Amino acid sequence: MAEAETARISTAQQGDATLEVSFSGAFVLAASAPQQIQALQELPASIHKLVLKDEGITEWDSALLILLMEIKQRCEKQEVELDFSGLPKGAQQMIQLASEVPERKGAAHDGKRDSFLVRIGKKSQSTWGEVTGFVTFLGAATISVGRMLTGRAQYRHSEFWAIIQECGPKALGIVTIISVLVGAILAFVGAMQLQMFGAQILVANLVGMGMVVEMGALMTGIILAGRTGASFAAQIGTMQVNEEIDALRTMGIPPMDYLVLPRLVALVIMTPLLVIYADVLGILGGAIIGIFALDIPPVLFFNQTFSSISLWHCAQGLIKGSTFGLLVAIMGCLRGMQCGRSASAVGEATTSAVVSGIVMIVVADAIWTYIFMTVGM
């Protein structure tokens, strides 16, 4: 491929206030920039008009347009009249087209960093917006549940059962693996300490209480946050991108009824059932360690387990599980409804749903634990 001809710029002053700039050669990205370009960076104060002429431009592309836009901006800054009628017709049209829509004010990054107080103010505004958005969404969801209880909610029953299947039976696999391993880990960690006192049998108490009161509900909630909450956010966020939610509003169908309500109710119903399943599998996982590693007779292990837990302990786990399911559904649907109109926004909404859901689960778990300890039953 032949090397592009060197681009050249020459200047000649016409009178006291006019400067004529001639272009020749190849102004393409593959060629080096003309050395004479530095002469146009600072125009003399006496120059009030700049005339651009074509004196043999052999070829040009966006390199010429970039150069001309820089010259145009320099002339505007120094209030110098610019005449580019002597340039190729195509270049004139491109410059006019680029100048048709002015740059939006504040679009360009000025490189200045906000002060500490300004950053605090912006963060406070953002946090307050998150809080108000959450409260507004919670109120709308409550109203939607009220419409369902009175038989006025608009949603598809077939989709509701499909969501129940997605939240419940399809999550059994991952819940099984995690619950068995968590129960086994609790038994193994407890055994290392209890063997020092010859109290290996108390591993059954540790596993039973730990799974029923705390770990069963907590691990199930975290699993659902990463699995179901992310799914809700991605589904609703994609509908937001495709303007399907706008279409529902146009047809007079409340998105809260059609999209949020089935997911909310389904997860609140299925989470306690998954918690019960996780409790049973966790106890079995602990029993595997107790029976085969600690040589505890199976009957003795299960009798010790059942004697250490009560209905109140089971109720604590179920209350926590229901709360966790509600929070996961709210955060997943909320982030989906708040999603932007791009593919990257869907990813951000999904990530935010998982993070927010896990944080809310941990906070709710701490609150419920404090309440149960205060009640002391």
pLDDT in tens, 282-311: 999 999 999 998 888 999 999 999 998 999
| pLDDT tens-digit map of 101-128 | 666 655 555 557 778 888 899 889 988 9
pLDDT for the residue 51: 83
Give the pLDDT of residue 111: 59
Percent of the chain with pLDDT over 90: 46
Q: What is the pLDDT of residues 192-223, one digit of tens each?
A: 888 888 888 889 999 999 999 999 999 999 99
C-alpha 7/C-alpha 57 separation (Å) is: 8
**pLDDT score of 106:** 55
Share of the chain above pLDDT 70, in %: 91
The answer, yes or no, to whether residue 369 has pLDDT greater than 50, is yes
From start to end of 305-369, where are the E strands?
A: none
Whether the pLDDT of residue 19 is over 50: the answer is yes
What's the pLDDT score for residue 59?
A: 83
The DSSP bridge partners found for residue 367 are none
CATH classification code of 8-100: 3.30.750.24
Only one residue has tokens 């829509």, namely: 101
Query: Which tokens hold the place of 30?
Result: 């593959």
Q: Which range, of 58-62, 243-247, 328-332, 365-369, averages the lowest pLDDT?
A: 58-62
User: How do 18-27 and 8-14 pair as beta strands?
Assistant: antiparallel
* b/e burial code for range 111-125 (CB count within 10 A of at least 16 → b): eeeeeeeeeeeeeee
Vertex 99 angle, CA 96 and 104, to 5°:
165
Q: How many CB atoms lie within 10 A of CB 136?
A: 11
CA-closest candidate to residue 271, choices 144, 184, 163, 181? 163
Strand partners, 27: 60
User: Each residue of 312-326: pLDDT tens digit?
Assistant: 999 999 999 999 999
pLDDT of amino acid 108: 56
Length of the chain, please? 377
Range name among 1-10, 20-29, 269-278, 365-374 with the lowest pLDDT average: 1-10
Overall pTM > 0.85: no
User: Looking at residue 32, what is its pLDDT?
Assistant: 65
Q: Where in the chain is the domain with CATH 3.30.750.24?
A: 8-100
Tens of pLDDT, residue by residue over 169-181, are 999 999 999 999 9
Please name the helix (run of DSSP H) or strand (run of DSSP E) that holds residue 83, with its range, or none. strand 81-86
pLDDT (tens digit per residue) in 57-104: 888 888 888 888 888 888 888 788 888 888 888 888 887 777 766 666
Estimate the share of the chain in helix, then strand, then coil, as percent rounded to the nearest 5.
70, 10, 20
Average pLDDT, integer, range 43-53:
79
Rounded CA-CA distance 172/240 in Å is 30
- Judged by DSSP in three states, 71 sits in helix
pLDDT, average across residues 249-272: 91
Question: CA 355, CA 328: separation in Å to the nearest integer?
Answer: 10
3-state secondary structure 244-309: HHHHHHHCCCCHHHHHHHHHHHHHHHHHHHHHHHHHHHHHHHHHHHHHHCCCCCHHHHHHHHHHHC
The mean per-residue pLDDT over the stretch 351-373 comes to: 93
CB-CB contact of 370 with 255 (8 Å): no
What pLDDT is attached to residue 41? Answer: 62
Tokens of 242: 């495709």
Residue 211 confidence (pLDDT): 93
